[in-house]
Amino acid sequence: MVGLSVGEKHFIQGGIAQDLRSDGRKRLTYRPIYVETGVIPQAHGSERVRLGATDVIASVKAELGKPSALQPDKGKIAIYVDCSPTAAPMFEVVFALAGRGGEELSTELSLALQRCLLGGKSGAGAGIDPASLVVVEGKVCWDLYIDGLVISSEGICSMPLPLLLSNTGIPKVDVEAETKGDDQPEVSISDEEFLQFDTSGIPVVVTITKVGRHYIVDATSEEESQMCSAVSISVNRKGHICGVTKRGGAGLDPSIILDMISVAKHASEQLINKLASEIAAAEASEEES
Amino acid sequence: MKRLGSNNRYEDSYQILLANREDELETKIGTGPPKMPLILDGIAVVVGKHVLLGNKTNTDLIGGRYFNKCYPVIVGGKLNSSFDTPQDNDGHGTHILSTDGGNSIANTSGFGGLLWSGQVKIQDLLMVLSLTLLHDRSQLEPAPWLWSFLAKLSSTTIKKMRGLQLPLSQTQRIRLQRAFEKLQSLSSKANSDASVTVADTIPVNYEDAFLKGHGTTDLNGELVATVCGVVERINKLVYVRGLRARYKPEVGDIVVGRVVEVAQKRWRLEINFSQDAVLMLSSMNMPDGIQRRRTALDELNMRGIFEENDVVCAEVRNFQHDGSLQLQARSQKYGKLEKGQLLIVDPYLVKKSKSHFHHLEHFGIDLILGRNGFIWVGEHVETRDSMAVDQANSSEQSMVLEEKNQTHTPLEMRQNICRTANAVRVLSTLGFSMDADLIMETVELSSSLKIDIHDMLGSEFHVLVAEREAERRSLMGKRRR
C-alpha cells in the first residue's frame, strides 16, 4: 500500500467530514459492483464480483454425502475462503519471509463467513437452512462446499455472499428404491431439474469504517489508512444482525458500535437492493449469451 | 480429483497462468494441440482426458508454479512438499526471464527460457501467462506451437484489455465502438496505431531505410515485435511501446513524485521509473530563500522540508552515470504539494507540452500534469514568497500548521477538485492523452449535463466523453482543410 502524505490525509479526512469523498461518493455510497454469474461451468453455482480493485470468485459445489450422526436431518455446509498470493503484495511478502501471509486472512474470512452463515452450534439462526439440504434423513444429504477465491484485494474485502448462492441450482434428486435399515439408498441425480436455493435469509456483510467522527462504507485503501477502526456487520434482509466483527484499529466506545450497527442496517438495505438488481442483470445477460 | 502422477509417469509441466483477470477466454481459445488443459485464472477446463481442477487446487496454482522435471505432478491436494510443490523457496512460480515492458525484473531466474514469471512487480507486466500442460513426456511437442498458441492467447487478451472494464449495455457498446472507429479513421497516421503482440510482424516498408527501435527485432529478415504493445513511428524510427511501460524520462521534464526515503543530503522519490529519483538538498531552495551552502544543520532539518510520503513536484535535471535520475526543484513553482489528491495514469498519456502547470482560475484549483503519469489536482497555492523559518520559530510554524489542519477545503472547491479528478480518471480509462483543455472540457461537459460527480465514473459518461472527443477531432480536421 502506498503511503500518503500529511496533506493528502488531511484532504481525505476533510472530504469524509464534508460528505464528499475523493471520487465524489457520499459517505454511504458504494462503488459500482460488477457481477458475472456462471464463471465456472463445472460448479453448480459460481460468481465473480468486482468492487473497485477487489476481485473475488465464489463457487458452490454440491455433492451427495452422509449426514453426521448428531444431526441426521441436516445437510452439511463447508465454507472456505482462499486469498491467492497474487491478491495483494502483502500476502506475497509475508509468504516469502515466514509463513503464508494470505493464510491468516483466509482463515479469518472463512471463520467470519461461517459464523454469519451457519449460525450457532445448534444451527439456529443460520442463513442457509441445512434442513433443506437433506435428501433421505439419516442416509443421504447434500454437502455444500462454498469456496471463495480472492484474486485481488484492496483493503478489507467483505464480499457479499447472496450473490453466489442465488445462482446455485442444486440438481433435483430422485430416490430410486426404498431400502431398509442401514443400507444406502440408491439415488439418481437428475441432470435436468434443479432446485433453486432459497436465498432470502442470507445476510450481507457491510464494513463500516470510522474516520474521524464519521462513518463510511466501502473504503478505498487510501481511506482505510486513515481509519480509526472498522467493524464488519452482517445484516440479513429482515434487518437482523447475523454477525459482528471488529477489524482492528482503536478501541471503540460501545455507543459507537451501536451507532455503527444502525448505519449498517441502513446501508445494507441499499446494498441488498443493488445486489439484487445486479444479479438479475447478470443472469439476464447470461441467458442472452 | 485424479492424481496424474499416480501411474508414475513423470510429466513435464510448463505453467503459464493468466494473471490478468480477463475471463471468457476459454470460449475464444480453441487452438493449440489437444490434451492440453487450460487453466485460466483458476478456472480449469478439461481438454482431452485430463483432470478437471476445482477451485481449491486452482488457488494454489494461481500466480505461476514451477514444476521441476522428473517429479510427479500431484493434483488435488495442497502442494507443500518442496519437491512436489510447484513453488520455489521464495514462493515464486514459474521462473523465467521476465520482461516488464522492456525493463527487467530483479530476482527472477532463467530456467527453461520459456516465458514470464513476474512475481516481483506483477502489476507492471502486461500479463503473466501461466498455462499448465500436463501430459506424458513422450507427447511433449517442441516449443514453436506453444509460441504461436501463446501469441494467439495474448492477442485475445490484448483485445480484451483494450476493452473497457465497464459494464456497457448493448447500445452503449455500439456507440462506444462507433466513436472509437471514428477516432481511428481520423488519426492522421494510418497504420501507426497497430497493436502488436509478441512475434507479430510489424508492417514496414522494407525499401525505406528505417531504424529498429525498442521492442523490435530482426527475425528471418522480418521486423518482429518482442513486446506486446502499440507500434509507434517517429520519422524513421519504428518501435513498440509496451502498454504498461514505465516512464521514460527526459531532461527538463516536470515530474511529480513521492518521497520514499530521506537520505544523506538528498531525498529519494518514487516516480514510476525503474529506479528512484534523487533530489539533492542542494537542488532545493532553502525555506528562507537565501542562497548559501547547506550546513550540517540544514541536513538535520531535511525532514522539515520534505518528509516520507510527501508529494513533491520537481524537474529532471540530468541522468547520473549509473542511469539514475537527478531532480531539481529550484523554482518557486516546484516543491511540496498539499491539499489535494494524486492520480496515477499511464505515462504515455501525458505528452510534452509548453506548460504542465495549469491554474484553473474558474475553479480555483491547480492541475499539475507530471510526465511520469502522476497528476496532481489540488487547491490553488500562490507561489509562496520565502518564509523566514528560524529554529526558534519552528514551534510557531507547527502551531500555524495545526490551525491550518482545522480548516478544511471549502466544499465548492472540493467539488471542483473531485470533478477534475474524475475527469482525469475517465480520460485515462478511455486512453485519451491528458491535456489541460481536454480535462477542462470534460469537466464542463459533466457540469453542463448536471451529472453527479460520482456518476462521472459510470459507463454512460464514458461513452459521452468518447463521442464528444470523436466529434471534436472531426471538427478540427475539417477546420484544417
Chain A residues inside the 8 Å CB shell of B62:
84-86, 149, 151
Same domain for B260 and B352, yes or no, is: no
Chain B residues inside the 8 Å CB shell of A147:
54-56
Least confident of B116-120, B148-152, B334-338, B422-426: B116-120
Q: What is the pLDDT of residue A112?
A: 73
Question: Any CB–CB contact under 8 A between A90 and chain B?
Answer: no
- End residue of a domain, out of B272, B302, B337: B337
Same domain for B429 and B346, yes or no, is: yes
Contact B101, B243 (CB under 8 A): yes
Q: What is the pLDDT of residue B394?
A: 44
Residue B273 lies in a domain: yes
Residue B438 lies in a domain: yes
Of B43, B167, B422, the CB nearest to A24: B422
Residue B272 lies in a domain: yes
Least confident of A84-98, A232-246, B76-90, B343-357: B76-90
**Top mean-pLDDT range of A66-70, B161-165, B418-422:** B418-422
Chain A residues inside the 8 Å CB shell of B170:
none
Same domain for B358 and B467, yes or no, is: yes
Residue B435 lies in a domain: yes
Boundaries of domain holding B287: 252-337
Which regions of B168-253 does DSSP assign to beta strands (E)? 195-196, 211-212, 216-219, 222-225, 229-234, 237-242
Residue A284: count of CB within 10 angstroms of its CB? 11
Instruction: Pick the residue of A37, A84, A221 with the most B CBs within 10 A to test the interface with B by mutation.
Output: A84
Q: What is the pLDDT of residue A101?
A: 57
Q: What is the pLDDT of residue B147?
A: 44
Contact A46, A165 (CB under 8 A): no
Task: Provide the pLDDT confidence category of residue B259 given band limits of 50, 70 and 90.
Answer: very high
Chain A residues inside the 8 Å CB shell of B42:
57, 84, 149, 151
Contact B227, B101 (CB under 8 A): yes
The owner of cell 503484495 is: A89
CA distances, A230 to each of A83, A256, A261 (Å): 20, 11, 12
**Given an 8 Å threshold on Cβ–Cβ distance, is A24 in contact with B258?**
no
Same domain for B326 and B376, yes or no, is: no
**Given an 8 Å threshold on Cβ–Cβ distance, is A20 in contact with B55?**
no
Task: Provide the pLDDT confidence category of residue B242 given band limits of 50, 70 and 90.
Answer: confident
Question: Any CB–CB contact under 8 A between A280 and chain B?
Answer: no
Contacts of B297 (CB under 8 A, 6+ apart): none
Tens-digit pLDDT profile for residues A165-188 = 444 444 434 333 333 344 555 655
**Given an 8 Å threshold on Cβ–Cβ distance, is B457 in contact with A23?**
yes
Q: What is the pLDDT of residue A70?
A: 78
Per the prediction, chain A carries an average pLDDT of 71
Same domain for B309 and B414, yes or no, is: no
Chain B residues inside the 8 Å CB shell of A102:
none
Task: Provide the pLDDT confidence category of residue B234 given band limits of 50, 70 and 90.
Answer: confident
Give this complex's ipTM: 0.78
Least confident of A217-231, A272-286, B219-233: A272-286
Percentage of chain A beyond pLDDT 90 is: 0
Q: What is the CATH number of the domain that holds B267?
A: 2.40.50.140
Examine the pLDDT at B140 and tell me if it is beyond 60: no
Q: What is the pLDDT of residue B262?
A: 92
Same domain for B373 and B468, yes or no, is: yes
Distance from CA of A180 to the nearest CA of B (A): 32
Q: Does A6-288 carry CATH code 3.30.230.70?
A: yes
- End residue of a domain, out of B304, B337, B370: B337
Q: What is the pLDDT of residue B136?
A: 35
Contact B379, B409 (CB under 8 A): yes
**Given an 8 Å threshold on Cβ–Cβ distance, is B91 in contact with A92?**
yes
Chain A residues inside the 8 Å CB shell of B257:
none
- End residue of a domain, out of B337, B360, B394: B337
Question: Any CB–CB contact under 8 A between A289 and chain B?
Answer: no
CA A25 to chain centre: 23
Contact B306, B262 (CB under 8 A): yes
Q: What is the pLDDT of residue A125?
A: 54
Tens-digit pLDDT profile for residues B197-221 = 666 777 777 788 888 888 788 877 7
For residues B285-301, give the mean pLDDT. 83
Of A2, A25, A86, the CB nearest to B63: A86
Examine the pLDDT at B8 and tell me if it is beyond 80: no
Same domain for B346 and B431, yes or no, is: yes
DSSP B201: B
Task: Provide the pLDDT confidence category of residue A54 given band limits of 50, 70 and 90.
Answer: confident
Residue A82: all three cell numbers together: 482462499
Contact B149, B158 (CB under 8 A): no
pLDDT: which is higher, B119 or A243: A243
Q: What is the pLDDT of residue B473?
A: 84
**B87, closest residue in chain A (CA to CA):** A96
Same domain for B350 and B278, yes or no, is: no
Question: Any CB–CB contact under 8 A between B62 and chain A?
Answer: yes
Chain B residues inside the 8 Å CB shell of A96:
90-91
Distance from CA of B457 to the nearest CA of A (A): 8
Task: Provide the pLDDT confidence category of residue B316 given band limits of 50, 70 and 90.
Answer: very high
Chain B residues inside the 8 Å CB shell of A94:
none
Q: What is the pLDDT of residue A128?
A: 65
**Given an 8 Å threshold on Cβ–Cβ distance, is B409 in contact with A11?**
yes
Least confident of A35-49, B119-133, B239-253: B119-133
Question: Any CB–CB contact under 8 A between B88 and chain A?
Answer: no
Chain B residues inside the 8 Å CB shell of A29:
454
Chain A residues inside the 8 Å CB shell of B91:
85, 92, 95-96, 100
Task: Provide the pLDDT confidence category of residue B386 given band limits of 50, 70 and 90.
Answer: very low
Q: What is the pLDDT of residue B188?
A: 54
Residue B62 lies in a domain: no
Examine the pLDDT at B287 and tell me if it is beyond 90: no
**B88, closest residue in chain A (CA to CA):** A96
Least confident of A134-138, B288-292, B306-310: A134-138
**Given an 8 Å threshold on Cβ–Cβ distance, is B310 in contact with A7?**
yes
Examine the pLDDT at A114 and tell me if it is beyond 50: yes
For residues B282-295, give the mean pLDDT. 82
Same domain for B319 and B444, yes or no, is: no
Same domain for B350 and B432, yes or no, is: yes
For residues A116-126, give the mean pLDDT. 60
Please give the Cα distance from B161 to A120 (Å, whole number). 45
Examine the pLDDT at B474 and tell me if it is beyond 80: yes
Degrees to nearest 5, angle at CA B6 with A146 and B114: 80
Q: What is the pLDDT of residue A286?
A: 63
Tens-digit pLDDT profile for residues A229-282 = 888 887 877 888 877 888 777 888 899 889 888 888 888 888 878 777 777 777
For residues A96-103, give the mean pLDDT. 50
Chain A residues inside the 8 Å CB shell of B310:
5-7
Question: Any CB–CB contact under 8 A between B408 and chain A?
Answer: yes
Examine the pLDDT at B67 and tell me if it is beyond 50: no
Tens-digit pLDDT profile for residues B389-399 = 444 344 444 44
Exposed/middle/buried for residue B240 (C-beta within 10 Å: 0-12, 13-18, 19+): buried
- Phi and psi of A7, rounded to 5°? -60, -40
Chain A residues inside the 8 Å CB shell of B163:
none
Contacts of B340 (CB under 8 A, 6+ apart): A7, A8, A11, B365, B366, B376, B377, B378, B379, B417
Task: Provide the pLDDT confidence category of residue B55 given band limits of 50, 70 and 90.
Answer: very low
The owner of cell 494467439 is: B152
Total number of domains constituting chain B: 2
Q: Name residues 377-406 of chain B within 8 A of A (Cβ).
A: 378, 405
**Given an 8 Å threshold on Cβ–Cβ distance, is A24 in contact with B456?**
yes
Question: Any CB–CB contact under 8 A between B309 and chain A?
Answer: yes
Percentage of chain A beyond pLDDT 70 is: 66
For residues B77-98, give the mean pLDDT. 39
Question: Any CB–CB contact under 8 A between B418 and chain A?
Answer: yes
Dihedral of CA atoms A89, A91, A96, A101 in degrees, nearest 10, equals 160
Q: Name residues 152-191 of chain A within 8 A of B (Cβ).
A: 152
Q: What is the pLDDT of residue A10?
A: 87
Of B43, B309, B456, the CB nearest to A40: B43
**Given an 8 Å threshold on Cβ–Cβ distance, is B63 in contact with A85?**
yes
Contacts of A173 (CB under 8 A, 6+ apart): A64, A135, A140, A142, A187, A188, A189, A190
pLDDT: which is higher, B32 or B293: B293
Least confident of A48-52, B141-145, B249-253, B282-286: B141-145
Residue B429 lies in a domain: yes
Task: Provide the pLDDT confidence category of residue B481 given band limits of 50, 70 and 90.
Answer: low
Of B309, B425, B453, the CB nearest to A5: B309
Same domain for B349 and B420, yes or no, is: yes
Examine the pLDDT at B129 and tell me if it is beyond 60: no
Per the prediction, chain B carries an average pLDDT of 65
- Strand, helix or coil for residue A264: helix
Residue B37 lies in a domain: no
The owner of cell 478489507 is: A156
Tens-digit pLDDT profile for residues A14-24 = 888 888 888 88
Please give the Cα distance from B96 to B115 (Å, whole number). 5
Q: What is the pLDDT of residue B267?
A: 92
Examine the pLDDT at B407 and tell me if it is beyond 80: no
Please give the Cα distance from A175 to B177 (Å, whole number). 53
Same domain for B344 and B416, yes or no, is: yes
**A50, closest residue in chain B (CA to CA):** B165
Q: What is the pLDDT of residue A123?
A: 52
Percentage of chain B beyond pLDDT 90 is: 9
Residue B416 lies in a domain: yes
- Phi and psi of B463, rounded to 5°? -65, -40
Tens-digit pLDDT profile for residues B142-199 = 344 444 444 454 444 444 444 456 667 778 888 888 888 887 777 655 554 566 666 6
